[in-house]
Amino acid sequence: MAQAGVIKGTVPAAGSVERSMDGRISRIRLFTCIGLVAVWEIIATLGSYGILYNDVVPHIWNIVIAVGYELISASFYRDLGMTFAAHSVGFICGSAIAVAVGIWLGTNKLIREAMLPYLNAIGSTPKIIFLPIIFLMFGVGLESKMAKGALSAFFPVVFTTTLGMMLINPVLIRVGRTFNLNKWQMITKIYMPAMVNPVITGFRLGVAITIIGVLVAELKFSDGGLGYRLGIYYEQFEIAPMYAVILLIFALAAAANTGMTKLQDRVNRHMAPTTSKGKKARASASGGLGVVN
């Protein structure tokens, strides 16, 4: 491409410039990865001679072996199942309530103005402070993790839904009125499609924050789940398995986020210019919400 451009005596096409930029970005990422692995291995080697962080940083191959053990252990899948159950039930309950409340707040200015200070205050508080209350109310088992998950999911979804409801372009509603839409048609043909995008944004944030919420509850006080597993390995000073669980949780959370991002891009494919791959819209939607877990 670039060569053809030179032969024709023209400036290289924008596409090829972008591609060489992409190439440089992947090279920087690769070198960062190699650098981190090298630093890690140096620290691990120093540790095994008792010089630095003795036994705290295991060799990477030990972690890889531990990951393998986790993946063939039945108890890992039991914990995974518990975390998954707590996450999905918590997320579904929390976000369903949040969508309903968000629509209500979005349409009712009086209630919104009255409630927003409270929501902002609680929304920007780390929800971890409510853990003791949740344990007292729901016990140590799965129910308390579900409740924590629901609490975590609620805030990002309620904020994006309320905002989305408020920001529906008023001219679209006027268009509906001039075409004599009845109330039901207004909801199904204008409000609902206009709300899909902000609600999906809320779901994406909600899924990520619910993972954190559930893990924190499991780490603190529980009888199962990936957070519990992590805590046990830590307490027993089983360092390589501990890292293995961290890695697996990281991979699962990243996969969940990628899945939600793909879903959002699919839903948004008509909403923003395709060239920016929706990145800009997402960044602005997730920024400045003041949601702290």
Partner 1 sequence: MADILQIKNVSKTYDADGDNPVHALDGVDLNIAEGEFVSIIGPSGCGKSTLFNIIGGLIDDHDGEVLIDGREVDGAHKDVGVVFQEESTFPWRSTLDNVAFPLEVEGIDKAEREETARKFIQLVGLEGFENHFPAQLSGGMKQRTAVARTLAYEPRIMLMDEPFGALDEQTRMLLGDKMLEIWAALNQTMLLITHNITEAVQLSDRVVVMSYRPGIIKEIIPVDLPRPRTSEVIATPEFGTYVGKLWTLLREEASRGMAEAEASIAAR
List of residues contacting partner 1 (CB under 8 A): 169, 171-172, 174-175, 177-181, 185, 189-190, 193-194, 196, 270-274
Smallest gap from residue 17 Cβ to partner 1 (A): 23
Smallest gap from residue 194 Cβ to partner 1 (A): 7
Q: What does 197-214 look like in DSSP terms, one character per residue?
A: HHHHHHHHHHHHHHHHHH
| Helix residue ranges per DSSP H, the chain | 2-7, 14-48, 60-71, 74-107, 109-123, 131-138, 142-166, 170-178, 183-185, 192-220, 226-235, 239-268, 279-286
Smallest gap from residue 179 Cβ to partner 1 (A): 5
Q: Which of residues 116 and 196 has its CB atom nearest to partner 1 in the complex?
A: 196
Handedness of CA 124, 216, 135, 237 (dihedral sign): negative
Q: Which of residues 1 and 271 has its CB atom nearest to partner 1 in the complex?
A: 271
With contact defined as beta carbons under 8 Å apart, do 95 and 203 qualify? yes
Q: How far apart are CA 226 and CA 249, in angstroms?
A: 8
Smallest gap from residue 156 Cβ to partner 1 (A): 22
Smallest gap from residue 165 Cβ to partner 1 (A): 16
Length of the chain: 293
Q: Which of residues 196 and 252 has its CB atom nearest to partner 1 in the complex?
A: 196
Q: Which of residues 199 and 209 has its CB atom nearest to partner 1 in the complex?
A: 199
Q: Which of residues 60 and 168 has its CB atom nearest to partner 1 in the complex?
A: 168
Give the residue among 229, 241, 237, 224 at the shortest CA–CA distance from 68: 241
Handedness of CA 138, 100, 270, 156 (dihedral sign): negative
